Structure 1
């Protein structure tokens, strides 16, 4: 009977350890330099930024981002370099000094209505064209408040690139 008790405790301990390991693995990945979540969104601070093949100024420039305030997703960190990708999936390494923590999004629907409040049956304050870059203010689970060209309002989150689907911002 004592042996059976020990076996059951061993099995329960193994199950508990397995559950804890799964919970730790489910936690979000963090950058080794900043300890911030990966992936995460930032915006392009500079009017022009070289996108390099690797994380140093000696690596080849693959292309140049030329749209200031464009949202970018950081997927990796190495010293002063951040691996980023844009809305089209194009990416590479950019020096961190060219990036900003100011959050922006790109509108992915033409004539996207901005609403006075985060609800379908509220007045429209403006309509945003496809490709407009807007400053991200607040987000609920389904809606985000934007500021674009002086117009402010709420729009469904699923029409925006530059915000995580489960992200909530106050």
Structure 2
């Protein structure tokens, strides 16, 4: 059995469904919705424009973010920690990724792990043990389990253990 840590990941593209209670935005896409970062360096600003100060710099391509509002070429996003701000749309991708157990990460403590299962069952054998904070590439979700790719591994993780997919959401 292998352990996959947060520093060893890749991302891939999949379809973009709507979130719960979604509406259609000016771009024609649903709000809210999940997206991911295209780049390893993306500024999150305090408002929709380069005149606004940088509130945060993301340094992790593939990181999932939730788009909650749009204004021209800017998207108001929220991350797994609840931080919100504005990102230029060109730095965002429609590919779907998710963070494994981000709410379980505690500073100074060893990251908990979750089994990446061969099949969509708790009784299924573990393919690898995945640390909290790892980015998973979403392949599909059936509202209970998600088929994901993480580094060179593929398997199933319970949907409720992922941030980047809505409760009850189905992805194909």
**Aligned Cα root-mean-square deviation (Å):** 1.4
Q: TM-score scaled by structure 2?
A: 0.80
Alignment match, 1:131? 133
Q: Matched residue of 1:158: which SS?
A: helix
Alignment match, 1:150? 152
The answer for unaligned runs of 5 or more in structure 1 is 1-25
Picking from 30, 45, 50, the partner of 2:24 is 30
After superposition, residues 1-12 of structure 1 pair within 5 angstroms as: none
Alignment match, 2:162? 160
After superposition, residues 1-170 of structure 1 pair within 5 angstroms as: 28-32=22-26, 34-108=27-101, 110-170=112-172
| Structure possessing the higher relative contact order (Cα contacts under 8 Å, 6 or more residues apart) | 2
Alignment match, 1:19? none
CA distance in 2, matches of 1:164, 1:91: 18
Moved over 4 A (4+): none
Q: How many residue pairs are counted as aligned between the two chains?
A: 144
Q: TM-score scaled by structure 1?
A: 0.81
Higher-Rg member (1/2)? 1
- Could you say which structure has the higher strand fraction? 2
- Could you say which structure has the higher helix fraction? 1
The answer for unaligned runs of 5 or more in structure 2 is 1-19, 105-111
Deviation (angstroms), 1:27? 5.8
